[in-house]
Amino acid sequence: MEQNRQLCSQLVGKQEEDTFSILIASDCHLGYKEKDPIRGHDSLVTFEEVFEIAKEHEVDFVLLGGDLFHENKPSRATLHGCIEILRKYCLGDKPCQVEFLSDQSVNFWSSSFPVINYEDPNYNISTPVFTIHGNHDDPSGSKNLSAIDLLSSSGLVNYFGKTSSVDEISISPLLMQKGKSKLAVYGLGSVRDERLHRLFASEKITMLKPKMDTDNWFNIMVVHQNRVKHGEKNYIPEEFLSDFLDLVIWGHEHESLITPEWNPKTNFFVCQPGSTVATSLTEGEAKRKHVAILKVFNKTFKVEEIPLNTVRPFYIDELCLQETGISCDERHEQEIVSYVKKKIESMISKAEAEHSGSTRQPTEPLIRLKVDYSGGYIPFNSLRFGQQFVGRVANPKDIVHFYKKRTRREITDDEEMESIENAELPISILERTVKIENIITELLANDSSYQMKFLSEKAIGDAVRIFVDKEENDIIEELVHHSLKKMQNLLKKNQGSTDLQLDQQVEIYKETVFGNEDMRKAIEGAQIKRRHRGDYDDEKDFSDSDEDIVKPSTSANPENNGRGNRSRDRARGQTRGHRNSRTPSRGRGRGTAITSSGCVFTRKPATATASSTLKSKKSEVINLVDEDDSDDPFEIDRSKRSRKA
Amino acid sequence: MEQNRQLCSQLVGKQEEDTFSILIASDCHLGYKEKDPIRGHDSLVTFEEVFEIAKEHEVDFVLLGGDLFHENKPSRATLHGCIEILRKYCLGDKPCQVEFLSDQSVNFWSSSFPVINYEDPNYNISTPVFTIHGNHDDPSGSKNLSAIDLLSSSGLVNYFGKTSSVDEISISPLLMQKGKSKLAVYGLGSVRDERLHRLFASEKITMLKPKMDTDNWFNIMVVHQNRVKHGEKNYIPEEFLSDFLDLVIWGHEHESLITPEWNPKTNFFVCQPGSTVATSLTEGEAKRKHVAILKVFNKTFKVEEIPLNTVRPFYIDELCLQETGISCDERHEQEIVSYVKKKIESMISKAEAEHSGSTRQPTEPLIRLKVDYSGGYIPFNSLRFGQQFVGRVANPKDIVHFYKKRTRREITDDEEMESIENAELPISILERTVKIENIITELLANDSSYQMKFLSEKAIGDAVRIFVDKEENDIIEELVHHSLKKMQNLLKKNQGSTDLQLDQQVEIYKETVFGNEDMRKAIEGAQIKRRHRGDYDDEKDFSDSDEDIVKPSTSANPENNGRGNRSRDRARGQTRGHRNSRTPSRGRGRGTAITSSGCVFTRKPATATASSTLKSKKSEVINLVDEDDSDDPFEIDRSKRSRKA
């Protein structure tokens, strides 16, 4: 493989018509700190630089690793700024040389316009963008839409890797061809790590491989998950991913480790672009930011790393007060302040000396000094301290971060996770976090009037998290509604019982059927269920019925009856184990799927495809084995099980 | 004129290549009651019907009168639904036969892509949409963006009629030609009625007329204001509008009065499309909803009214309890309830009988019975009463509306306004409104610790209104920041005064320089000022300085340096009376303006144009008189002064 890369570097250039040229970037976090008068424009400035690079290198397309937006609900200004940049750089006359081969109605199943933007005759696209969602811009709300869906329905990006079920995930690649080279891009938008970890461990992740020319595809996978271990299940080990992959583009992690790293266990490379803007003041974010130009020729590839020049300079350093020789006596506070000040001045000088000189690179750097105050030192007021650096430093309010070194001991996974997460938080935030948690716990523990008869504490916690993170104002109401309905159904079945019996039943029910797991799924699946009725057959009362309501039919193709019906059908095929029906109902919706022009596979009458493999595992495997010599273009690669499992 | 319409009806059809065909609609209020499980889809369903009609009639373009969205910040689902319909119906191969003649960089001055979408080579537009904003979707936030700007920057609509100043408005028409017919469309997005009334009265509204062929244009104006009088200044009298107009499209008023009404005083017709969805349960909204196909041939026009078939049926009626003969004694409550129920049943029956039978028209009607309970009757619980109609009526919660007839007496204008506004509100809301007002007033009056030293009550009131209506979370903070800065500057100038003297100064200052008017302007102009620095020369400290910050340049044309600079220049030309500089600086930005292909006017070197006339009245008039024989394509028509003024 290493050899291949060498080979590629010789070939690329001579065989341009056979070589994919792809700009790789990730975690642009548009809108990050947009209200900060100093840093407000940083994310959009660098986003534009990314597209300037794409244009300059005349790439075939741009591939993004998620978290295009920082907020789940980006502000109008941020969304508008993003649209402006995309319209400016992605539209144009240059024809895209990449032939798109896979079934677009499968790749873009959730869209009303399941067509790749550069093949839509109504748009002139010179630089197509492909992106998955990250954890910051994941789908939410009543229609399970991401902010990226707005860009996608406007024809500005191609949004892939959206999953349709919370219980099983089948990943059907984007298949492309340029000259003789063939590229398969597997996308998986951000899924909560714990859930994805569980799905991998229980072999509920399916990777579909093209049967035709199976071994000649260059296989890329784009993911947006924790790569660094945060507790036992709070990350995705690289070994979970299929070893037929050639290259994994790993989003979410902000440190730029863009030089592909070879993983000898899995036989693939991992390229971690890192973010294009620092969203936390940590070591990883202080490293130089990059995008990459990825060239793929047959089964070989080459990565050209391109440093970004508009990123705000960021310097981070550490200081241990005990090592300064200054006494921890509070009378020496001024001495400590002076010492710290001197240290920061030297960091600022370094920033000035190393500034690129480019007018587009901000001059006020981010400065972070981590001060270990263990040994009896008293932290001074870092907010007031920072005021002297206003106008010289971009983050005067949080230059100094006080922390205490942990003493080394065996720590459990939970603690480890907490320690990693908390390590980045300043004292004040930690205190606040604890307070909010305390409030909830105390309320529930001490005051009987607040005790929850129906809801589990965990479920409420999850709902509150979604409420805060995604600004989904209805989620708590929905949860309560769902819980009450379930409980009401239970009680109806048990009419005539005594109060005591009922109480016991409620408790048992709460513990078992209606436990944390059920509630978690109810929350996770809420959006999907609202669209795909029938996911939970016994829970049809979960959402307000809207099936009788006249809805606008907004599909691209009037004959095609739109996304609504097709995706609903598909979702019906994804119920947990097909409680009500195990009859395999294959190829539903396929006949009406919009096929791409020039698509090799979809011209064949495909009867079993990606959508059919989305059904319950049992029937899916049988179907595919049965018809191995059929026209089904895909083979299945069951993702590896956790070695620990 | 009436004769002309007759003439037109004979001509249209024979001269199709010379006849504009325009779909007129207004107040689509997308997203209205989107969370209502019954009515949630109504607005989008009818919006789609509007575009089906446009497509069926193969109109040249769609012209909307504002309030495309119901919420200033439409939900993602609503925005997405709107995008889907626009993409489905407006994109396509049919070439638009209308030649666009005016300077697009003037018409669409606020856009980074000041080009009409069907002339952008990167989009294939078959049915262009032109829209102004209404009061529901007006620009807001730090970049003064409307939700419509998202559609405009995505190439889906052409958004015009955005004003750049709060003190003067100059309206430069969209000029179009189809065959021999010439059309000028003047757009004015919603402005607060009181302010617009004042601007008209003080002759601060300028209408620019094309000099070439001045009398051969068919002149349409699109406005979104109160047409019905709500108090002396809380509406725009038709007489305010220029009499060279041929047809006014009047948005905002929801009653469909789409048949053009001749106004003999002004010599123009007024066409009031009305809303496409009922957003209040009033008589006007209960009338049949329409769109119109407007045909324009030379100076003649014809309107074909097209009833909308997907609108939810809505029946409204009145009942006076005194006329029922039932005693007002509370023991007869059940009798009254039965009487009311019978009445509503008959309304439902009527709705059933009159249903169009179309599957796309909802079957559950809106029902409103206004019950006059004067004469000592006690209103029953209308919420509980409505429960029996769940599943049969779309609005079970507010079917019955209790009110008392006003006794006739002389009422002042203020009272009149209040009575008209309150007439539609149910009791509970009125009570709540009063309560909130009381809280503020009581706080300020009774508790000295809440007394405002710097801020006027009115200014706070306005800020709170914007905070609530537009969800502009920063507006109050901005107001306070602005006030404090001004006060600090005052105090700095007066160092050495005694406390008493200072107190007096503060009071005087608050009353005069810093009075309500100033504060109102500060609030109204906040968004504009944040973009166009220098509007208020003595208030540069109002917003955070962002001039030194590296910003993304996102203009369509790299040589053109984008909207940011041009609009900033123009805004500088719009300061109130040019306090610091009266030098006329004409034609700025004109040389770099993007001109439309086939544009007659812009091919001439235009030195004084719409942008130059936007300057203070004095210099503007002189310039234009001086150069009346120049290439300036526009004549000025100063809008008529209020007859009462």
Query: pLDDT tens for residues B449-495?
Result: 555 555 666 666 666 666 666 666 666 666 666 666 766 666 666 66
Q: In terms of domains, do A130 and A277 share one? A: yes
Nearest to B266 by CA among B243, B240, B297: B243
Q: In terms of domains, do B259 and B335 share one? A: no
Check: CB of residue B130 under 8 Å from CB of residue B183.
no
Check: CB of residue A379 under 8 Å from CB of residue A373.
yes
3-state SS of chain B: helix, strand, coil percent to 5?
A: 40, 20, 45
State the DSSP code for A413: H
CA-CA distance, B559 to B574, in Å (whole number)?
A: 25
| A70, A136, A252, A290: the active-site residue | A136
The answer to whether the CB atoms of B83 and A153 lie below 8 A apart is: yes
Q: In terms of domains, do B279 and B302 share one? A: yes
Lowest pLDDT segment from A288-302, B28-42, B257-271, B588-602: B588-602
Summarised one tens digit per residue, pLDDT across range B438-450 is 555 555 555 555 5
Distance from CA of A552 to the nearest CA of B (A): 5
Q: In terms of domains, do B297 and B318 share one? A: no
Lowest pLDDT segment from A79-93, A104-118, A265-279, B563-577: B563-577
Residues 448-467 of A with CB under 8 A from B: none
Average pLDDT over residues A48-73: 97
The answer to whether the CB atoms of B554 and A45 lie below 8 A apart is: no
- Phi and psi (nearest 5°) for A599? -90, 120
Position with higher pLDDT, A617 vs B225: B225
Summarised one tens digit per residue, pLDDT across range B618-637 is 222 222 222 344 556 677 77
In a domain, B387, yes or no: yes
In a domain, A617, yes or no: no
Nearest to B590 by CA among B567, B606, B603: B606
Tokens of A566: 């097709």
Per-residue CA distances from B1 to B55, B172, B181 (Å): 29, 25, 17
Residues 6+ apart with CB under 8 A from B522: B459, B479, B482, B536, B539, B542
Choose from B153, B159, B312, B363 for mutation: most chain A CBs within 10 A.
B153
The whole-number pLDDT of residue B635 equals 73
Q: Which of B290, B307, B324 is the last residue of a domain?
A: B307
Does A359 touch chain B if contact means CB atoms closer than 8 Å?
yes
Question: If you search the block for the tokens 């948690």, which residue do you land on?
Answer: A437
Q: In terms of domains, do B258 and B362 share one? A: no
Q: What is the CATH number of the domain that holds B251?
A: 3.60.21.10
The answer to whether the CB atoms of B122 and A121 lie below 8 A apart is: no
Q: In terms of domains, do B93 and B199 share one? A: yes
Residues 6+ apart with CB under 8 A from A35: B142, B474
Check: CB of residue B189 under 8 Å from CB of residue B215.
no
Confidence grade of residue A448 (pLDDT, cut at 50, 70, 90): low
Q: For residue B546, which residues of chain A lie inside 8 Å, CB to CB?
A: 37, 40-41
Distance from CA of B386 to the nearest CA of A (A): 19
Does B353 touch chain A if contact means CB atoms closer than 8 Å?
no
Check: CB of residue A270 under 8 Å from CB of residue A238.
yes
Does B564 touch chain A if contact means CB atoms closer than 8 Å?
no
In a domain, A469, yes or no: yes
Q: In terms of domains, do A105 and A150 share one? A: yes
Summarised one tens digit per residue, pLDDT across range A498-533 is 666 666 665 555 554 444 455 555 555 554 444 343
Find the closest chain B residue to A472 by CA distance. Answer: B75
Choose from B33, B110, B117, B122 for mutation: most chain A CBs within 10 A.
B122
What angle in degrees, to the nearest 10, is found between the helix axes of A457-469 and A427-446?
140
Q: Taking the mean position of all CA atoms in its chain, how far away is CA A87?
A: 24
The answer to whether the CB atoms of A45 and B147 lie below 8 A apart is: no
Residues 139-198 of A with CB under 8 A from B: 141-143, 145, 147, 149-150, 153-156
In a domain, B567, yes or no: no
Nearest to A119 by CA among A552, A556, A553, A554: A556
Burial class of residue B264 in the structure, from the number of CB atoms within 10 Å of its CB (0-12 exposed, 13-18 middle, 19+ buried): exposed
Considering CB atoms only, which of A48, A91, A310 is closest to B122? A91
Confidence grade of residue B201 (pLDDT, cut at 50, 70, 90): very high
Angle at CA B163, nearest 5°, toward B162 and B168? 160
In a domain, B39, yes or no: yes
Does B112 touch chain A if contact means CB atoms closer than 8 Å?
yes
Summarised one tens digit per residue, pLDDT across range A61-87 is 999 999 999 999 999 999 999 999 999
Per-residue CA distances from A479 to A73, A152, A211, A505, A621 (Å): 21, 30, 43, 20, 35
Residues 6+ apart with CB under 8 A from A563: A109, A110, A111, A112, A114, A555
Q: For residue B551, which residues of chain A lie inside 8 Å, CB to CB?
A: 41, 44-45
Nearest to A392 by CA among A445, A352, A441: A352
Summarised one tens digit per residue, pLDDT across range A328-372 is 988 999 999 999 999 999 999 999 999 988 899 999 999 999 999
Q: Which residues are registered as beta bridge partners of B345?
A: none
Give the residue numbers spanning the domain of B415.
314-424
Residues 6+ apart with CB under 8 A from B43: B28, B29, B30, B31, B32, B33, B34, B70, B78, B276, B277
In a domain, B129, yes or no: yes
The whole-number pLDDT of residue B497 equals 60
Q: For residue A142, which residues of chain B lie inside 8 Å, CB to CB?
A: 35, 77
Distance from CA of A380 to the nearest CA of B (A): 29
Considering CB atoms only, which of A84, A124, A155 is closest to B554? A84
CA-CA distance, A219 to A221, in Å (whole number)?
A: 7
Residues 301-340 of B with CB under 8 A from A: 310
Lowest pLDDT segment from A127-141, B66-80, B142-156, B624-638: B624-638
Per-residue CA distances from B235 to A505, B200, B242, B431, B497 (Å): 64, 11, 16, 26, 47
Domain count, chain B: 3
Confidence grade of residue B330 (pLDDT, cut at 50, 70, 90): confident
The answer to whether the CB atoms of A362 and B122 lie below 8 A apart is: no
Find the closest chain A residue to B156 by CA distance. Answer: A154
The answer to whether the CB atoms of A555 and B121 lie below 8 A apart is: no
Instruction: Reply yes or no on whether B136 is catalytic.
Output: yes
According to DSSP, the β-strands at A268-272 and A257-263 are: antiparallel
The answer to whether the CB atoms of A143 and B80 lie below 8 A apart is: yes
Q: In terms of domains, do B400 and B446 share one? A: no
Summarised one tens digit per residue, pLDDT across range A569-602 is 333 223 233 333 333 333 222 222 222 222 222 2
In a domain, A101, yes or no: yes
Nearest to B462 by CA among B516, B417, B425, B527: B516
Q: Which of B307, B332, B350 is the last residue of a domain?
A: B307
CA-CA distance, A179 to A579, in Å (whole number)?
A: 47
Position with higher pLDDT, B534 vs A101: A101
CA-CA distance, A340 to A318, in Å (whole number)?
A: 10
| B29, B133, B136, B532: the active-site residue | B136
Round the average pLDDT of chain B to a whole number and report it. Answer: 75
N-terminal to C-terminal alpha carbon distance within chain A: 29
Q: For residue A40, which residues of chain B lie inside 8 Å, CB to CB?
A: 546, 549
The answer to whether the CB atoms of B123 and A124 lie below 8 A apart is: yes
Per-residue CA distances from A228 to A251, A408, B377 (Å): 12, 20, 72
Q: In terms of domains, do B395 and B437 share one? A: no
Choose from B52, B76, B115, B478 for mutation: most chain A CBs within 10 A.
B76
Q: For residue B563, which residues of chain A lie inside 8 Å, CB to CB?
A: none
The contacts found for A609-612 with CB under 8 angstroms, 24 or more apart, are A609/A103, A609/A106, A609/A172, A609/A633, A609/A634, A610/A103, A610/A106, A610/A170, A610/A172, A610/A208, A610/A634, A611/A106, A611/A109, A611/A570, A611/A573, A611/A587, A612/A573, A612/A584, A612/A586, A612/A587
Distance from CA of A154 to the nearest CA of B (A): 6
Residues 6+ apart with CB under 8 A from B213: B182
Residues 486-545 of A with CB under 8 A from B: 544-545
Q: In terms of domains, do A250 and A153 share one? A: yes
Tokens of B446: 């009774």
Q: What is the CATH number of the domain that holds A346?
A: 3.30.110.110
Its sign, for the CA torsion B378, B382, B387, B392, is positive
Find the closest chain B residue to A87 by CA distance. Answer: B154
H-state helical runs in B252-332: 283-286
Angle at CA B467, nearest 5°, toward B466 and B472? 95
Distance from CA of A291 to the nearest CA of B (A): 18
Its sign, for the CA torsion A201, A205, A211, A214, is negative
Q: In terms of domains, do A35 and A90 share one? A: yes
Q: Which of A284, A307, A330 is the last residue of a domain?
A: A307
Per-residue CA distances from A283 to A316, A317, A364, A382 (Å): 7, 8, 18, 20
Q: In terms of domains, do A57 and A205 share one? A: yes
In a domain, A192, yes or no: yes
Position with higher pLDDT, A618 vs B292: B292
Q: Has residue B360 got a pLDDT over 70?
A: yes
Considering CB atoms only, which of B73, B143, B553 is closest to A80? B143
